[in-house]
Amino acid sequence: MSATVEAARAILRDNDRGGYTVPTAGLYPYQWNWDAAFVAMGWITFDEPRAWREFERLLEGQWADGMVPHIIFHGPKSDYFPGPDVWKTRAPVPTSGISQPPVLATAVRHCWEAGRDGTLAEDRTAAIYPKILAWHRWWVEARDPERGGLLGCLHPWESGMDNSPAWDAAFARVAPTPATPIRRSDTGHVGADMRPSDDFYKRVIALIDLYASLQWEPRALWARTPFKVADLAINAILHRANRDLLALAERFGTAAEREEIASRLELTASAIDRLWSEAAGLYLPFDLIAKRPIEAPISAGFLPAWAGIADAARISTMAATLERWAKKVRYLVPSTSPEDPRFEPRRYWRGPVWCMMNMMIAEGFRAAGASDLAARIKSDTAALVSRAGFHEYFDPQTGVGLGGGHFSWTASVALSWPLLSAASGE
């Protein structure tokens, strides 16, 4: 066993809290939604029962309406802010009130196909499939009530890309006047220059206060929110997840469910297609309140390749865009274009490289035939981990590891998308 694999496995074991995996100790002391999906794909490489347990613990927090929250507050109380007392949700298990990019169906399909124990994989997938279907239906009901095909993201944290410059203009509509006092704990673990600003925190908490006052009722949130954007991560990842859910439905679902999923795929492919920007050379998010594209070139703009809906001409254009970015940084893929004046190489989603984003972007390009670019992204990812360790994210210019250390989804990417061969040139 290589030292990289051994170290990655050790991180998952160290961050295991009894069937769920914290992203890293201290900074993120609970179970996060899309983290759990990537983490399960790491566990499946060496401990299949533990991978399935990760999914089960995540789904303990699923709401009656199908929503899978972005944080499940398992375990003892910590100083994490905002905790359950701020979210004020009414779920039986304490959770946040919003969701996150829905990687779950893709991860479950991956584990189902990778499972070494056929009976275990079959039984666990059969039990999980209807819960994923319920979650995907929630996305349609709660975040696309007008059935236009594009899901609306109602909170920056729901996008998973919290302080991305893509949200700046839309987020300006949220007054920085929360009723809840701000008690930031994150900057006690990580330098403030790597984290969102205090102004950002005032606005995200103000949104939570508004939604809590509406008792998290989806139609009320949709009608009252000042922040409503068609986020590329949520939309592209859910499209890919529905493709994977359709594959699961062939084995575990009904004909009516397969027809439902296929119909949604047809609608969302057409809707995401409208987000293409020839001028930007990638897909752009869309402000659903201002009803205009958001002129922010971010790494999520390449995810329609992962979703499988970008044609050959657009793959070529996106590849050229990313090659241009590569001339400005040492390591791909920065979360914000280094050509953009809002680019900050150390600050969370305003510039740093994220390994799980690299995996999705690279695999999208690889599947579309841009194998050289895919190999470059994977090689850069391997080099970052090899030189800096399993950090939350990385400076695209220097390769310095940033954010939390000993990070679970970075370790999981190294296991499920083997980086050793890329690092050694094999």
Count CB atoms within 10 A of the CB of residue 74.
Answer: 20
Catalytic: 162?
Answer: yes
d(CA 68, CA 184): 25
Task: Determine contact, residues 333/327, Cβ cutoff 8 Å.
Answer: no
Cα 37 to its chain centre, rounded Å, is 9
Cα angle: 294, vertex 295, 301; to 5 degrees: 85
Helix axis angle, 408-416 relative to 3-14, nearest 10°? 140
Helix axis angle, 355-367 relative to 312-326, nearest 10°? 140
Q: Strands, E, within 302-405: which ranges?
A: 393-394, 401-402
Catalytic: 287?
Answer: no
- Could you say which of 48, 144, 162, 287 is catalytic? 162
Number of H helices, E strands in the chain: 18, 9
User: Which is it for strands 71-72 and 282-283: parallel, antiparallel or unpaired?
Assistant: unpaired
What tokens were used for 226? 């000042």
Task: Determine contact, residues 264/254, Cβ cutoff 8 Å.
Answer: no
- Could you say which of 260, 287, 392, 395 is catalytic? 392
What tokens were used for 124? 């666990």
d(CA 283, CA 302): 7
Active site residues: 162, 392
